[in-house]
């Protein structure tokens, strides 16, 4: 019954006033400004977590719209260094113009990459829908020839993901493994949650068995438990992997335990004015959150 109700809430949220969706944003977004992100990251660092910061926004429709996110990413990179906070940087290529002009996107991306290199930080290229997988991986390959501390993301629901990882396998290759949230055809993506989970574990093991670095990005407690057991039974060094979670996802006790057990845990900390579409995606990905927010809003105590 609870699952049905949560799914119902997700379907009706688009009809709700924007301020109500803001309740989601407060749980998942650090704020609208870089200063908000710095405050949240500093607090996370004090609790033993590291971070990955991201400027919200994607799928721009005019190249002039790339100017602001480019400036914001350059500021973010500089601020991480000057404020001495423990965070790397994540970005989406469509925010820099990928769906309009690949060459212009590379110009924007390279400016950020060079700044990241100057600060000796790490840059994660986020993966978007499957139509952009090939070009995203090409950007990674090109970026890797300029700077070694670059990684990409693989989505375990795509049939192609094992092959993609094998194509890039090399010592130290850094891959963030997640399930994937974009709606994809059964022809190219697993639809069964069990198969998605199985493929997730296969991809993590593939990386760890071949001297890669696995960023285990999931809130699925079954996957977290399975990865922990695999890491322990195979004596995987702590510098070969990390666990990752979205800021605000309600598995904080698990994340604290992972840190106390000696695992690196990185929290994804987004900020910016585009919190509405981001929050809507988070709701669709995790319908249970809608139930949590509904209870919080009406002060309903969980049993």
Assess whether 176 carries a catalytic annotation. Answer: yes
Active-site choice (126, 197, 266, 282): 126
Q: How far apart are CA 145 and CA 165, in angstroms?
A: 18
Cα–Cα distance between 87 and 90 in angstroms, integer?
A: 10
Q: Which of 124, 176, 197, 266 is catalytic?
A: 176
Cα 290 from chain centroid?
Answer: 20
As a whole number of Å, the CA-based R_g of the chain is 19
d(CA 195, CA 251): 23
126 is catalytic: yes
> Using alpha carbons only, what angle is made at residue 26 by residues 21 and 28, rounded to the nearest 5 degrees?
95
| C-alpha to C-alpha distance for 298 and 74, rounded to whole angstroms | 41
Strand partners, 87: 51
Show which residues are catalytic: 126, 176
């Amino acid at each position: 019954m609870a699952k049905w109700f949560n799914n119902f809430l997700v379907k009706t949220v688009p009809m709700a006033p924007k301020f109500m969706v803001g309740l989601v944003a407060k749980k998942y977004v650090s704020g609208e400004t870089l200063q908000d992100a710095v405050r949240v990251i500093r607090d996370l660092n004090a609790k033993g977590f590291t971070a990955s910061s991201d400027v919200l926004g994607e799928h721009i429709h005019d190249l002039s719209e790339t100017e602001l996110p480019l400036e914001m990413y350059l500021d973010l990179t500089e601020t991480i260094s000057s404020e001495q906070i423990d965070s790397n940087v994540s970005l989406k290529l469509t925010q820099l113009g990928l769906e309009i002009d690949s060459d212009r996107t590379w110009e924007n991306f390279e400016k950020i990459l060079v700044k990241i290199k100057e600060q000796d930080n790490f840059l994660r290229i986020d993966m978007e829908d499957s139509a952009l997988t090939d070009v995203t991986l090409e950007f990674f390959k090109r970026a890797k020839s300029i700077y070694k501390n670059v990684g990409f993301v693989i989505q375990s629901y795509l049939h192609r993901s094992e092959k993609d990882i094998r194509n890039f396998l090399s010592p130290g290759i850094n891959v963030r493994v997640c399930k994937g949230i974009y709606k994809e055809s059964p022809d190219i993506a697993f639809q069964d949650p069990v198969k998605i989970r199985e493929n997730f574990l296969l991809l993590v093991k593939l990386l760890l068995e071949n001297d890669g670095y696995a960023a285990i990005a999931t809130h699925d407690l079954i996957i977290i438990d399975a990865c922990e057991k695999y890491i322990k039974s195979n004596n995987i060094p702590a510098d070969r992997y990390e666990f990752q979670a979205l800021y605000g996802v309600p598995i904080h006790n698990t994340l604290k335990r992972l840190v106390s057990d000696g695992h690196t845990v990185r929290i994804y900390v987004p900020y910016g004015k585009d919190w509405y579409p981001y929050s809507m995606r988070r709701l669709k990905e995790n319908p249970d959150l809608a139930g949590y927010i509904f209870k919080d809003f009406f002060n309903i105590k969980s049993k």
